Amino acid sequence: MTLTTVLYVVIFISAAAYLASRSKALSTVSGNQKELHSLPQYYGFNGLLLSLLPAIILLMIWTFVQSLVVESTISNMLPDEMVSEQANLNLLMSEVERLSDGLKIVISSRISDRSTLLDPNTSVATVQEALLQANVFLSGDIDQEIMKAAQRRFVMETDGSMYRNWLVIMTSIIGFVIAFRQSRSDFRARNQVERIVLLLLASAATIAIVASIGIVLSMVFEAARFFDMHPWTDFFFGLVWAPSFRFQSELQKTRRCQKGLAQMP
């Protein structure tokens, strides 16, 4: 089940919750809207929000946390001798992700099955041949450790996504049931809908404020790190025009020359 399918299912459940909750509220008063505490659409909106919002929030949180857990687990699986620096780690992680996506293509194309690809007794050459049949680009022979990491990533992503998808659908159904049971003539649907909308607006404002603070702090920290490498006096008042601040830039050469002259007796 793909993520798009899950979203369609949640939207369908939310629409059904709107119609069912509205109809249930009207049926409790035999169609006489004057006996309802709130207008019929508020009962429908209550069902819509309870079915949609918790499911979407769970989907976002699960996806974010899963990506962090997967990245941390896979990076710890790579041998230290293969990771010499951060740039090399990023390249290795990209390679693992590409191979993991390739395994998904192999299975979806029915070139091989999941059990064969993940079997410890299956050789790397066999998996590599299946990837080539699926037209997955390979830069060369696949390292054993990289293949194990790719297989582990594939399992974590596919299983985690499966559990997430079913849990999101179940959460939407539970919201449907709760809203349907709340749809009575004395239920203050308008008050609850207004509280939910107010909470959404407050959450959006909070996220915007936190994001703005994060952007400012990231600029401050990056500026501080930059001026640790290049003195601010040279940056603002230096007479050398050097738009490139690479290691071999004119600014770096000038600074090294100045330091060398200062250290001379």
Q: What is the mean pLDDT of residues 76-89?
A: 70
Torsion of CA 207, 212, 217, 218, to 10 degrees: 90
Q: Which residue has the tokens 């830069």?
A: 139
Q: Over the range 70-94, which residues count as b (16 or more CB within 10 Å of their CB) and which as e?
A: beeebeeebeeeebeeeeeeeebbe
Residue 262 has pLDDT above 70, yes or no: no
- Per-residue tokens: 16: 């059904």
List, for residues 200-235, the tens digit of each pLDDT value.
999 999 999 999 999 999 999 988 888 887 788 877
Q: What is the mean pLDDT of residues 2-11?
A: 92
pTM: 0.74
- Residue 5 makes CB contacts below 8 A (sequence gap 6+) with 165
**What's the confidence (pLDDT) of residue 247?**
47
**What's the confidence (pLDDT) of residue 133?**
82
The residue type of 166 is: W
List, for residues 119-160, the tens digit of each pLDDT value.
777 787 888 788 888 787 777 777 788 888 888 888 898 899
